[in-house]
Chain A
Amino acid sequence: MHGLNVLLKKIIRSGTGCSRYMMAMTGLSFAIILMLTAVQLQADYRDLLYSKNNRDSVANFLVINKTITDQNLGAAGLTESEIKDLQNQAYVESVGLLTPSRFKASIQSASDRFPFYTDIAFESVPKEFIDITAKDWTWNENAMFIPIIAPNMFLDFYNFQFSFSQNLPQLTQQVVKMIVFKVNVYGPKGMVTFNGRVVGFSDRISSLLVPEEFMNWGNTVFGKKQDLKPSRVIIKTRDAGNPQLTAYLKGKNLSTDADKTRFSKYRRVVDIVVSISGVTGIILFSFALLVFTLFIQLTVASSREDIRLLITLGTSPSQLRGFLFLRFLPGTLVIILLSFCMVGIIQFLLYTQLTNQGIFLSRLPDITTVLAALLIAGVIWMVTGFSIKKCMKEPLELRGHR
């Protein structure tokens, strides 16, 4: 068979010359690189959003409330159906209600050495929405103190503004956690004082959090109004930058920390760039395949008489098809391999560049890129086979004539 193919190679020459072949191959290379890059970019993007290395705990939790307007002043609560609807969105993993305290409260220092006093309000959320694990995060009526989680920005506000203006010392998180202070709660029967202590700092929710147990108990015992609609909810989402989520919130007149959803703009841009790259790749691929099949057809057409004679002498159609297949396919496989390597190099460069900026990508191409390359190889294999079969038909049909 090897000897036969050597002779067939001499007989069936590419009558159309090298330039057309090179043109088809160059086009094919660009197309494949574009398509694989599109797939790899999409994979990288997915990796950035969902991988553990990059997962930004802040961005995945959003506190949502109604946008306050002149029309809904004083009635900006979320209805049950609105919360349910939010829960039903595909990109929302879970929804937790933020319960505000319905009683007046204040905190003050326990000793006169470090005097402070302020009125305050609390909120509580289900445990799974809290980003710190404090072993003390529970409360009952016999507890020694009320654990409190404070927003980091409160401490920042104190350390970088308040302390300077009041000539007070700056405080570390550890120091703050050691301070026990008084929590005064005012109910219908007068004021009740508890001990309180900050057990952690959070970036997620910008209010003073207390355990749900305390909140429920406090609202029952000291609360002024019952059954108020929740005014804020916290959602857990896999992708805070999802443009659908941003659009949904906008449509429902809901607002959240815009800083956390700003990514959706970039996401849209990346989506568009990836789509353009992918679509251009597919169009270029289609044209390159067309030129490639034309090249096969031209080769067969220009050797038509020789192919007829080969068949007359006893060369089987399958031998000829096999020869043509071997003639055209390896080149395209090399092209796919080279294109894949090129995407691999780009990926590695991206990896080294972005790692310096604290963004962690895989240094190797993604499995979906490998699958895409295999898919492209499959498509080329099929098109080549089909094209050879089709253009071999004519010399075969004419075998009965001289």
Chain B
Amino acid sequence: MKILLDHIIPTPLKDRFSQNGSAIWNTSVQFTQGEYIKIKAPSGTGKTTLVHILYQIRHDYEGKIVLDDRPATAITGDALALLRQKQVSIIFQDLRLFPQLTARENIELKRVMQQPFYESSVIHEMAAELGIEKILDQEAGLCSYGEQQRIAIIRSLMQPFEWLIMDEPFSHLDIENTKKAAALIARECRKRDAGFIITDLDEDSHFTYSRQLHL
């Protein structure tokens, strides 16, 4: 799936970005499936806003987004759900887990939301890979932030996708765990011929990026 951002300006940040030489805002930019896109920007410049606009949970912007040949605004209801189940997966900066469910149930939810992409045993394999297999049956609300971040990462990899959108996905992980998580993400993207869009504050070498854009 191709993603075209055509002169997007978030309404709340309109005044600030119109003067700026951003590679995303108020310009035309296209992402082709399979690309590894890094979007770098300091705090408060709209990384999360961009992620939410791309994932269509914010609509307060000017310009338009086209997914393949469909305007994003035309995709609503069940069609939008289908897009989120099969084509676009996400890791939120604020993680958005159900605190009352266990770690396993949070991950399982995304596995069974559509025709399962993986057997349930894969949950344990991935959890072991990221070192959280012991907390799988613990309520997510009782897990540490770093553990929750890894739960959110595994959850996003339970479904089929063409694009994985990540909003500062390693912000609470140490270097070792970040490496493990990045390796897992890269492997899963390759398996699906998928691309990703990742936002972060700084330069990094977690992935071999196709493009690095400044917001």
Contact = CB atoms under 8 A, between A and B. Distances in A.
A319 B112 contact: no
B89 to A, nearest CB: 8
B57 interface: yes
Interface stretch (A256-264, A268-276, A305-313): A305-313
B113 interface: yes
B179 interface: no
Contacts of A314: 81, 83-85, 110, 113-114, 159
Interface stretch (B16-24, B95-103, B122-130, B185-193): B95-103
A402 B111 CA distance: 24
B98 A317 contact: no
Nearest to B73: A400
Interface string A323-363: 00000000000000000000000000000000000000000
A4 B101 CA distance: 13
Given A4-B113, A402-B58, A316 B82 contact: yes
Interface string A380-402: 00000000000000001001111
B183 interface: no
Given A309-B98, A400-B58, A7 B109 contact: yes
B78 A318 contact: yes
Contact of A400 (B57, B77, B81, B84): B57
A190 to B, nearest CB: 103
A332 to B, nearest CB: 26
Contact of A3 (B52, B78, B85, B112): B112
A168 interface: no
Contacts of A54: none
Given A313-B109, A402-B57, A11 B101 contact: yes
Contacts of B56: 400
A10 interface: yes
A390 to B, nearest CB: 16
B52 A313 contact: no
A10 B52 contact: no
Interface residues of A, number: 22
Contact of B81 (A1, A4, A7, A311): A311
Nearest to B111: A3
A312 B72 CA distance: 15
A10 B113 contact: no
B108 interface: yes
Interface in B103-150: 105, 108-114
A396 B81 CA distance: 11
B108 A309 contact: no
A401 B60 CA distance: 9
A401 B81 contact: no
A315 B101 contact: no
B27 to A, nearest CB: 24
Contacts of A317: 77-78, 81
B64 interface: no
Interface string A1-23: 10110010011000000000000
Interface in B31-89: 52, 56-60, 77-78, 81-85
A312 B57 contact: yes
A11 B98 contact: yes
Contacts of A396: 77
A201 to B, nearest CB: 79
B109 A4 contact: yes
A399 B57 contact: yes
A10 B57 contact: no
Contacts of B57: 312, 399-402
A312 B77 CA distance: 11
Nearest to A318: B78
B87 to A, nearest CB: 10
Contacts of A1: 112
A402 B51 CA distance: 12
26 contacts: A1-B112, A4-B109, A7-B105, A7-B108, A7-B109, A7-B112, A11-B100, A11-B101, A309-B96, A312-B96, A313-B109, A314-B84, A314-B110, A314-B159, A315-B81, A316-B77, A316-B85, A317-B81, A319-B81, A319-B113, A396-B77, A400-B57, A400-B58, A402-B52, A402-B57, A402-B58
In order of increasing CB-CB distance, the 7 nearest A-B pairs are A314-B84, A316-B81, A3-B112, A400-B59, A316-B78, A314-B85, A4-B112
Interface of A: 1, 3-4, 7, 10-11, 306, 309, 311-319, 396, 399-402
Given A4-B113, A316-B82, A400-B58, 13 more contacts: A3-B112, A7-B109, A11-B101, A306-B98, A309-B98, A311-B81, A314-B83, A314-B85, A316-B85, A317-B77, A396-B77, A399-B57, A400-B60
